[in-house]
């Protein structure tokens, strides 16, 4: 299938002037460092409460940088990529810490990390092939892929459901089922993305 062009793009979603240093990227940097430091301390102290604090800082900071970028109209593609990379750093720090503290959860955790660190990462940076500011606006490229991956319910399921379930219940097998289901969904999304085709710059 030939790559789908984007025509008549709304200015709210399109590319603007790029810069690295914005209020949003500062929030991204601060929340990343703070969360990783907390996760490292949690591993050193064998402390689950510290690890949960690292997760909370990651989630709150991730919501804050996006909200700030939209509120102050300073969304950039650089900021989106930085956010995607830092999400992976924070998630890896938390989940590897959790596997360190509760090794019985490791099978579910590492399936989830394979999905989030590799396939979801590729899907998330694919927006760079089109003139949109972030994967949050992928609905102008393909609505089903956006619904499955970056709509608010999809983000909640992909980011929160798995972690909360493991922390609250400790049920490895249920976590493994959820992680496997997410992996299948990401593979379906990737297949659809390949069928759409990624534009090649002239």
Residue 14 near residue 145, CB atoms below 8 Å: no
Q: What CATH code would you report for 23-196?
A: 1.20.120.1760
Burial category of 109 from C-beta neighbours within 10 Å (exposed 0-12, middle 13-18, buried 19 and up)? buried
pLDDT at position 5: 54
Q: Are 165 and 175 in contact (CB under 8 A)?
A: yes
In DSSP notation, 145-166 reads HHHHHTSHHHHHIIIIIHHHHH
Domain residue extents for the chain: 23-196
At 73 the pLDDT is 85
pLDDT, residue 200, reads 78
- pLDDT tens, residue order, the chain (202 aa): 545 555 545 555 555 677 778 889 999 999 999 999 999 999 999 999 999 999 999 999 999 998 998 898 888 999 999 999 999 999 999 999 999 999 999 999 999 999 999 999 999 999 999 999 999 999 999 999 999 999 999 988 888 889 999 999 999 999 999 999 999 999 999 999 999 998 876 6
- In degrees, rounded to 5, the angle at the alpha carbon of residue 83 between the alpha carbons of residues 186 and 162 is 45
Distance (Å, whole) CA 200 – CA 196: 13
pLDDT at 159: 83
Q: According to the model, what pLDDT value does residue 158 have?
A: 85
Q: Give the pLDDT confidence score for residue 70 in this predicted structure.
A: 87
């Amino acid at each position: 299938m030939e790559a789908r062009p984007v025509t008549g793009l709304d200015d709210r979603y399109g590319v603007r002037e790029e810069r690295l240093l914005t209020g949003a990227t500062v929030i991204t940097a601060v929340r990343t460092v703070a969360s990783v430091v907390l996760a490292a301390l949690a591993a050193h102290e064998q402390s689950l409460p510290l690890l949960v604090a690292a997760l909370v800082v990651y989630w709150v900071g991730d919501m804050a940088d996006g909200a700030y970028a939209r509120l102050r109209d300073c969304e950039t593609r650089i900021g989106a990529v930085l956010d995607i990379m830092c999400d992976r750093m924070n998630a890896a720090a938390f989940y590897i810490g959790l596997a360190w503290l509760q090794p019985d959860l490791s099978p579910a955790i590492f399936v989830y990390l394979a999905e989030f660190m590799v396939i979801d990462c590729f899907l998330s940076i694919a927006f760079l092939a089109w003139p949109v500011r972030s994967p949050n606006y992928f609905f102008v490229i393909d609505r089903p892929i956006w619904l499955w991956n970056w709509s608010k319910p999809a983000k909640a399921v992909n980011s929160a459901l798995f972690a909360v379930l493991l922390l609250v219940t400790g049920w490895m097998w249920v976590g493994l089922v959820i992680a496997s289901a997410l992996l299948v969904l990401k593979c379906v999304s990737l297949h659809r993305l390949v069928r759409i085709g990624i534009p090649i710059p002239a």
